Amino acid sequence: MAEKPVLLISACLLGQKVRYDGKGQILPAARLAALNAHYTLQAVCPECAGGLPVPRPPAEIVGGDGAAVWERVAQVFGNDGTEMSAAFLAGAEAALQLAKAADACGALLKSGSPSCGNTRIHDGRFTGGMVPGRGVTAEWLHRNGIAVWDDSQADGPCAIDKTISPAGSAAS
């Protein structure tokens, strides 16, 4: 039997308690079962990999999106005013290296996160507003040729109510 392809996945989507609030955000059981059936899941939490603790202040990108952080025209701040850009950049690079080392066929990340969001992120005002854009890690993986989805995307790997969509069939 052929080896299953490796899919990088946000650790919180597996229920790992790595979020800023010390909690996970596990995927629905049916989707998780389908993912496990079709992929070898390689967990990563970019913010932890970048050296941030659990719990930590909730963070948002101020002045743009993940692309703007890489271009050094926006920064990541915690809601306590702490500048966290360096940790976010380091975590994104760690996630990329992990994806490369595992020969990952793609990445399924957590929507809305300033690291992992692939379609929309918070607007930097800490009031719950969202704007289109990628987080710092999603942007870095995308720029480096890794197919990226977040869990809100209907065309993502093993999305609910869809037949299995192998990673690589629908780039972000």
Query: Per CB under 6 A, which of residues 102..161 are in contact with ligand SF4?
Result: 110, 113, 115-116
* Residue partners of 134: CB distance under 8 A and separation at least 6: 65, 66, 67, 117, 118, 119, 121, 142, 148
**Shortest separation between residue 17's beta carbon and ligand SF4, angstroms:** 9
Both tokens assigned to 71: 């271009």
The tokens for 164 are 């299995």
Among 6, 8, 18, 69, binds ligand SF4 (CB under 6 A): 18
DSSP-assigned letter for residue 156: S
Site for ligand SF4 in 40-79 (CB under 6 A): 45-47
Indicate the residue among 101 and 163 with the shorter CB distance to ligand SF4: 101
Q: CA–CA separation, 68 vs 172, rounded Å?
A: 18
Closest distance between ligand SF4 and the C-beta of residue 51, in Å?
Answer: 12
Q: Which is nearer to ligand SF4, 101 or 169 (CB)?
A: 101
The reply to whether 34 sits near ligand SF4 by the rule CB under 6 A is no
C-alpha torsion sign, points 170, 13, 101, 121: positive
Residue 34 or residue 56: which is nearer to ligand SF4 going by CB?
56
Distance CA 116, CA 22 (A): 17
Q: Which residues bind ligand SF4 (CB under 6 A)?
A: 10-12, 18-19, 45-47, 110, 113, 115-116
